[in-house]
Amino acid sequence: MLRRVSLATLGLVLAVPLGLAAQAPVRVFTGARLLPIAGPAIEDGVLVVQDGKILAVGPRGSVRVPAGAETIDARGKTIMPGLVDSHSHIGDADGADRSSPIQGDVRIMDALDARAATIQRAQAGGITSVNVMPGSGHLMSGQTVYLKLRDVGTIDELLICAAPRTDICGGLKMANGTNPRGAAPFPGTRAKAAALVRDKFVKAVEYRAKLRAAGDDASKRPPRDLELEALVEVLDGKRIVHNHTHRHDDVLTSVRLAQEFGYKLVLQHVSEGYKVAREIAAAGVPASIILIDSPGGKLEAIDGAFENAAELVKAGVLVGFHTDDGITDSRFFLRSAGLAVRAGLSPKVALEALTINNAKMLGLEQRVGTLEVGKDADFILLSGDPLSVYTKVLETWVEGLKVFDRADAKDRALAVGGFGVMKGTLEGHWHDGMEDH
């Protein structure tokens, strides 16, 4: 977890990981039950990491351990990839304001507090990669950001992208259904909402055509438009749309628009997904879903069901879970898999839905989501079966560095709670109204 350090020592602390990178030690975790996700469980496994990457993984005896490696006895523990959360609001940030329903130019990274307790709470829950999004009170509430939950103090150090000035560092948040509705300029009906979104994408298509026609001739380019620039990235398949949607017909509207403009879509929440599972599967669109302890609370979620995951998977849909933190608490993310298994999902897919499936939805499957050689050394040590309520996240490691250790008193407090521990948690989102999630 992030230690709150004085300004005088901050520079030193940040310098340390960089300084070590060149001669990073080899760490070997032995004896644990490994759940690589990429393959079957390994009962007596060995995991070797160096330079923030996985060097080797396999059963005892099958893995060459470099001389001089630091060995960590992990017998009795379970190691699985760090969890990937495909929809979260940690970092206490907000995206678009109330000036208009479509604000694709707004970036959540420009408002995120890297020192928020919510981020450290997510580390305590075993989450290592996360898609932090603006809310759902807009048709487009802004650009999302993909983060690694490293132990750092600034947003720039949390980014997964290498160069925020030029790279695409996240997706685009969209929403339909009741949340974005409101007084003008917000849409009053579903069809109006869709028309507003289509109109914006039509403009983006035209903008892209002008850009292409201009080629390298800067004088022929249209004036810069920050929003349309982001939508061109969407049209080019470089920026993924994350579409908040609950009701079955809204789900299909999301798919219809994505097909019209040919963009990459991830359905988010998808409470009634099971009612249109075949259609979602046929469209080849993944579904990032949330499991809520009871139906309703909002009209669109009245038919929400624990069975959603199993039904979607049965139809052939790629399914991931998300926390929507603070709708559910990042510390209980593993619980999603357990409840989905309760309602018919296979344990194997349930664990994929916490890891690699979400990585795929963020376009990060080459880097995270499984324990495989060459992937980032993001993993968690558990006290037991990830599907058991009694299991604790003991340690969370990001790129070969420990960011959460339940044996540490401060870290334990973040896992358990206590006086002042969560101070400031949910400020902003909570008080601006829960309808925005």
- Does position 382 interact with other proteins (CB under 8 A)? The reply is no
Residue 233 vs 411, nearer CB to other proteins: 411
- Does position 389 interact with other proteins (CB under 8 A)? The reply is yes
- Does position 341 interact with other proteins (CB under 8 A)? The reply is yes
Query: Which residue stretch of 67-75, 88-96, 281-289, 425-433 sits at the interface with other proteins (rule: CB under 8 A)?
Result: 425-433
CB of residue 280 vs other proteins: minimum separation in angstroms?
A: 22
Nearest C-alpha neighbor of 377 from the set 21, 19, 10, 16 = 21
Chosen residue from 392, 396, 399, 411 binding other proteins by CB under 8 A? 392
Chosen residue from 49, 197, 251, 426 binding other proteins by CB under 8 A? 426
Structure tokens at 370: 């499984």
Nearest C-alpha neighbor of 173 from the set 322, 300, 302, 296 = 322
Query: Which residue stretch of 48-56, 63-71, 218-226, 322-330 sits at the interface with other proteins (rule: CB under 8 A)?
Result: 322-330
Query: Which residue stretch of 63-71, 154-162, 167-175, 331-339 sits at the interface with other proteins (rule: CB under 8 A)?
Result: 331-339
Residues between 275 and 304 with contacts to other proteins, criterion CB under 8 A? 292-299, 301-302
Residues 241, 26: Cα–Cα separation, whole Å: 38
- Does position 367 interact with other proteins (CB under 8 A)? The reply is no
Q: Regarding beta strands 319-321 and 287-289, do their DSSP bridges make them parallel or antiparallel, or are they unpaired?
A: parallel
- Does position 339 interact with other proteins (CB under 8 A)? The reply is yes
Please name the amino acid found at residue 168.
I
Structure tokens at 134: 């603006």
Inter-residue contact 37 to 355 (CB < 8 Å): yes
Chosen residue from 59, 388, 410, 432 binding other proteins by CB under 8 A? 388
- Does position 423 interact with other proteins (CB under 8 A)? The reply is yes
Chosen residue from 7, 162, 216, 390 binding other proteins by CB under 8 A? 390
CB of residue 327 vs other proteins: minimum separation in angstroms?
A: 6
CB of residue 196 vs other proteins: minimum separation in angstroms?
A: 26
Structure tokens at 74: 């992990």
Q: Is 403 helix (H, G, I), strand (E, B) or coil?
A: strand
Residues 134, 294: Cα–Cα separation, whole Å: 25
Residue 39 vs 295, nearer CB to other proteins: 295
- Does position 409 interact with other proteins (CB under 8 A)? The reply is no
| Long-range contacts, 247-250 (Cβ 8 Å, 24+) | 247/177, 247/271, 247/272, 247/300, 248/272, 248/273, 248/275, 248/276, 249/190, 250/176, 250/177, 250/190, 250/300
Residues 140, 100: Cα–Cα separation, whole Å: 9
Query: Which residue stretch of 42-50, 68-76, 89-97, 323-331 sits at the interface with other proteins (rule: CB under 8 A)?
Result: 323-331
Strand ranges inside 100-148, DSSP E: 127-132, 140-143, 145-148
Using the Cα atoms of residue 360, residue 364, residue 368 and residue 372 in order, give the sign of their dihedral: positive
Q: Which residues of 10-35 are buried (b: 16+ CB within 10 A; e: fewer)?
A: eeeebeebeeeeeebebbbbbbbbbb
Query: Which residue stretch of 10-18, 136-144, 177-185, 413-421 sits at the interface with other proteins (rule: CB under 8 A)?
Result: 413-421
CB of residue 178 vs other proteins: minimum separation in angstroms?
A: 12
- Does position 422 interact with other proteins (CB under 8 A)? The reply is yes
CB of residue 187 vs other proteins: minimum separation in angstroms?
A: 21
- Does position 342 interact with other proteins (CB under 8 A)? The reply is yes
Positions touching other proteins (CB under 8 A) are 292-299, 301-302, 326-327, 329, 332, 335, 338-339, 341-343, 387-392, 415-423, 425-426, 430, 434-435
